[in-house]
Structure 1
Amino acid sequence: MNLMKGSTWGYLINGTFNGILGDMIKGIVDFGATPFQYKPERLDVCEYTVQTWLARPCFIFRHPKKDDLSNPFLKPFEQRVWYWIALFGFVNWALLYLTAKIEKIINWKPLINTLDSHPASETALITSAAICQQGLSDGPRLFSGRIVFLSLFLWGFLLYQFYSASVVGSLLAKKPRWINTLKDLADSNLEIGIEDIAYNYDFFATTTDPVAQRLYNEKVAVNKKRKKLPYYSAEEGIARMKNGGFAFHVDVATAYKIIEETFTAAEICDLVEIQLFPPKHTATATARYSPFKKMVTYGMRQIVERGMARRLRHIWMHRRPQCPESHSEEPVPVILAEFSPALFLLTCGCCFSTIVMITEMIVQRKHRLEPENHLTGVFTQKSPSALSESSRKFEDISSPIDPDEVKFSAN
């Protein structure tokens, strides 16, 4: 028996088969020691004998702890609840503003705080403070306004309790796994890698599954950002998968052994599997009309019936690594990427307040300069001749009076 290593099983390319099946057609090979998938086009060039192996390749990845597709600051409430919160806050602001205006009309007093001088902005700050659980020094003096004030802060307190309890509970509870289907994987931000083996190339070249085609076009095909196809060896792909954020399509018979030897218990517990295509039944094959077909069939049946095939499967195919029962998930900390919306909001507020402050300084400076310019203009409005005439009159008034020139008249 002369054993030779083929480059691939054999796939139909441009009307001809390559690999082992191509050698069978040429008469170089009589039968294959490796099993073949059942494919309709192969029935014309080979004959299958006994089914010996079930190939089960799939996507394996460490499930991410956080869902990057949603904003963590908006998670505790549904979108409709946020709308109701905004509406109720606006109603409370309107009621506070109305009571402040009525208080100014009924109980007229000199302006002693900002609630009297700027009721609109001050009531808006009171509403925001109630929602954010912050206090204010000013408050309404009428009983109606105080009732609105107290109800607003009580509502804000309950709202804050629900919000904070939901956030803390989400950090302590076991995280749900939202990537469960091939479509979920295509929608996620995980990178994709494929084992560099012939049947993966053939699948993507011949599949009609729209989800698989979309996955290939978005995460596998070459584009401006991806300069080469993400095909890796089993060792390299699993090493990238170990770091997280990477889904690798590989046969479980190859992957389980490497995972069991290199992954920690926490990393094993994060693993998720998603099928790209159903498991493939494989069987040994001989050349069409080969005289060795009966001999190979009889020998393979003996191997299967005597239990040798089952024993070899236990040797070659590792069992799936199990997550230990003693493993307990630790609370997931809030990472910078999730906290970034809060930092962005704070930065926007600081920038906006700085711009408003500069604008106010410019306006105030302009108002201070206007009275000075007005007084200066009063003294510069008269002409030089008018000024000289005024000075002569002033000299006449201030000149000494001669007593001899003064005449008195008596009645």
Structure 2
Amino acid sequence: MNLPQLETHFKEAQLFVDADVTYVTHDPITDNFILYDVYNKGRQLGGKLNITADREISCNQQDCRLERYLSDLHTRSPLQHRKSFTGLTMRATAAVTALPLNSSVEKIFDFMEAKDRIHLDTYCRIGYQARQPLRDMLDCKFKYIFRDRWSDGNATGGMIGDLILDVADLAIAPFIYSFDRGIFLQPLTKFSVFREICMFRNPRSVSAGLSATEFLQPFSGGVWLTFALLLLLAGCLLWITFILERRKEWKPSLLTSCLLSFGAGCIQGAWFTPRSMGGRMAFFALMMTSFLMYNYYTSIVVSKLLGQPIKSNIRTLQQLADSSLEVGIEPTVYTRTYVETSEEADVRSLYRNKVLGSKRSPDRIWMPTEDGIKSVRDQEGFVYITGVATGYEFVRKHFLPHQICELNEIPLRDASHTHSVVAKKSPYAELFKLCELRMLETGVHFKHERYWMQTKLHCYQHNHTVAVGLEYAAPLFILLLGAMILCVGLLGLEVIWYRHCTLR
């Protein structure tokens, strides 16, 4: 057919940007063939049929030979030639859950373009802002379709439904790629990290960081008992030694000898020591034993002060579901849907015990992100379920550096990545992929991701001073008071015994 007939037949044809159609005509004057590249960037976008002369070739019965190029198409790939969508309007679907859909278009666009309150519609807004460079690279306009949800299930309704039903050409927000969605959608590039956790602080971590028995329990009870018996035995042996050495002189009593042994155990030295070589060697052995005990004691206390905080024994989702800890949940759409509809046994148990079986009001369970993070900081034994992309921003804002080290995390589900997706066999898939890879290579995408996604917390556990309050030293003062009362009682007994002996 001639060129006008070609235009007539293909004017309304669904030839997309990835079409590979070549129209060949015969030049009767030169007896050569002229090749034309035929494509349409998208009739539904307002695109028109494009017919570009490519090259002229001459053929004989053996082969064909290039005579000349008729344009510069040979200098680039077909996609590079067709990547400009100037004057066209692409259809983009987006989800907005923080605002009602009946809000004005200006208000929705102001919200999507804003850079504050990043915990609201995080993935949709980062997708919106990261797609602006894509729009500039294609040199086209976007017509936005706003939905109030991502999907009704795995592969129906919402933004996913728009892609599957060919209502939209691309989705603004990234998606988690799953088997059900893989039937209809194909991933292009990895977009961002997606991880949801159950966050809570270690026991006693809300206070100064030390337990009340920190100074009294560096050793087990058996070690303390053995050391006390050793001091008592050493006191008795010292008393016998003094009796043998001082037959005609003043000899310390058994109580005084035990007191000398106790003083050596407390690294206080002794004002009275044996004279004989054997007695002094025994006293030297007692001092060495006390020194080793003191060295181990101080090492354990210091290591507890400078070491890692004690972690909770709750390490799985099922243990959390069976515990008595209070649970708050971030009310984002994807988190709430997963908690309420997941078929995982531990998630179902968590939902049944902590949500359905809870006597608390719903607003104390489905809490805003910032309020939930503050409750984790201030309320001991409180667990908040949140996504790291939104929760970490408030942790960094409201937690002191050393308090970050006291956080425990239990994964709500396996960590994964979100992807930018298009419908399967989308004619724009390869073009979108090349543009997004270009944004990854130049760092444009990472610029947005670093601002919107806080996926890592830095722990500075050695850069703080542990405040040892009076409540932690109280047991020591109680022991000291008890020892004073015992000493006063013994003094009274000695006075009574002395007067009794004097009267006789």
Shift of 1:94: 1.4
Instruction: Report the 3-state secondary structure (helix = DSSP H, G, I; strand = E; otherwise coil) of the residue aligned with 2:465.
Output: coil
The question of whether the paired residues in 1 share the 8 Å contact of 2:212 and 2:473 is answered with no
Q: State the one-letter code of the partner of 2:331.
A: D
The question of whether the paired residues in 2 share the 8 Å contact of 1:130 and 1:152 is answered with yes
Question: In the TM superposition, what whole-angstrom CA distance separates every residue of 1:256-289 from its partner, at most 9, and x where no partner exists?
Answer: 66667x4799469859776432234556899xxx
Question: In the TM superposition, what whole-angstrom CA distance separates every residue of 1:114-134 from its partner, at most 9, and x where no partner exists?
Answer: x42xx1x44443333222222
Instruction: Report the 3-state secondary structure (helix = DSSP H, G, I; strand = E; otherwise coil) of the residue aligned with 1:3.
Output: strand
Relative contact order, higher structure (CA 8 A, sep 6+): 1
Q: Within 1, Cα distance between the matches of 2:297 and 2:176?
A: 55
Equivalent of residue 264 in structure 2, options 122, 130, 134 = 130
Shift of 1:97: 0.5
Shift of 1:155: 2.7
The question of whether the paired residues in 1 share the 8 Å contact of 2:195 and 2:415 is answered with yes
Distance 1:189 1:222, change over 3 A: closer
Distance 1:181 1:155, change over 3 A: closer
Distance 1:62 1:167, change over 3 A: same
The question of whether the paired residues in 1 share the 8 Å contact of 2:309 and 2:405 is answered with no
Distance 1:333 1:348, change over 3 A: same
Distance 1:159 1:98, change over 3 A: closer
Distance 1:156 1:238, change over 3 A: same
Equivalent of residue 303 in structure 1, options 432, 435, 443 = 432
Corresponding residue for residue 56 of structure 1: 194
The alignment status of 1:232 with 2:367, answered yes or no, reads yes
Q: State the one-letter code of the partner of 1:278.
A: D
Distance 1:332 1:151, change over 3 A: same
The question of whether the paired residues in 2 share the 8 Å contact of 1:56 and 1:278 is answered with no
Shift of 1:98: 3.5
Q: State the one-letter code of the partner of 1:233.
A: P
Q: Within 1, Cα distance between the matches of 2:184 and 2:298?
A: 64
The alignment status of 1:97 with 2:236, answered yes or no, reads yes
Corresponding residue for residue 79 of structure 2: none
Moved more, 352-361 or 298-307: 352-361
Q: Within 2, Cα distance between the matches of 1:270 and 1:229?
A: 26
Question: In the TM superposition, what whole-angstrom CA distance separates every residue of 1:264-315 from its partner, at most 9, and x where no partner exists?
Answer: 99469859776432234556899xxxxxx568x3345532332178555642
Shift of 1:9: 3.7
Instruction: Report the 3-state secondary structure (helix = DSSP H, G, I; strand = E; otherwise coil) of the residue aligned with 1:232.
Output: coil
Q: State the one-letter code of the partner of 1:236.
A: D
Q: Within 1, Cα distance between the matches of 2:372 and 2:271?
A: 61
The alignment status of 1:183 with 2:325, answered yes or no, reads no
Q: Structure 1: which 5+ residue stretches go unaligned?
A: 287-292, 370-411
How many residues are paired up? 339
Percent of aligned positions that are identical: 18
Equivalent runs, 1:43-192 vs 2, <5 Å: 48-51=184-187, 53-59=191-197, 72-73=214-215, 79=220, 83=222, 86-101=225-240, 103-104=242-243, 107=246, 115-116=252-253, 119=254, 121-137=255-271, 144-164=278-298, 167-168=301-302, 171=305, 175-176=307-308, 179=311, 183=315
Distance 1:231 1:122, change over 3 A: farther
Distance 1:191 1:106, change over 3 A: same
Instruction: Report the 3-state secondary structure (helix = DSSP H, G, I; strand = E; otherwise coil) of the residue aligned with 1:298.
Output: coil
Q: Within 2, Cα distance between the matches of 1:167 and 1:50?
A: 57
Instruction: Report the 3-state secondary structure (helix = DSSP H, G, I; strand = E; otherwise coil) of the residue aligned with 2:286.
Output: helix
Q: TM-score, normalised by structure 2?
A: 0.47
Q: TM-score, normalised by structure 1?
A: 0.55
Q: Within 2, Cα distance between the matches of 1:140 and 1:86?
A: 26
Equivalent of residue 390 in structure 2, options 239, 246, 254 = 254
Instruction: Report the 3-state secondary structure (helix = DSSP H, G, I; strand = E; otherwise coil) of the residue aligned with 1:332.
Output: coil
Distance 1:144 1:6, change over 3 A: same
Q: Within 2, Cα distance between the matches of 1:345 and 1:320?
A: 44
Please tell me the root mean square deviation across aligned C-alpha atoms, in Å. Answer: 6.1
Distance 1:127 1:99, change over 3 A: closer
Q: Which has the higher strand share?
A: 2
Instruction: Report the 3-state secondary structure (helix = DSSP H, G, I; strand = E; otherwise coil) of the residue aligned with 1:51.
Output: strand
The question of whether the paired residues in 2 share the 8 Å contact of 1:253 and 1:317 is answered with no
Corresponding residue for residue 6 of structure 1: 148
Corresponding residue for residue 466 of structure 2: 333
Distance 1:356 1:190, change over 3 A: farther
The question of whether the paired residues in 1 share the 8 Å contact of 2:196 and 2:386 is answered with yes
The question of whether the paired residues in 1 share the 8 Å contact of 2:395 and 2:404 is answered with no
Q: Within 2, Cα distance between the matches of 1:217 and 1:11?
A: 21
Q: Within 2, Cα distance between the matches of 1:106 and 1:328?
A: 56
Q: Structure 2: which 5+ residue stretches go unaligned?
A: 1-142
Q: Which has the higher helix share?
A: 1
The question of whether the paired residues in 2 share the 8 Å contact of 1:57 and 1:279 is answered with yes
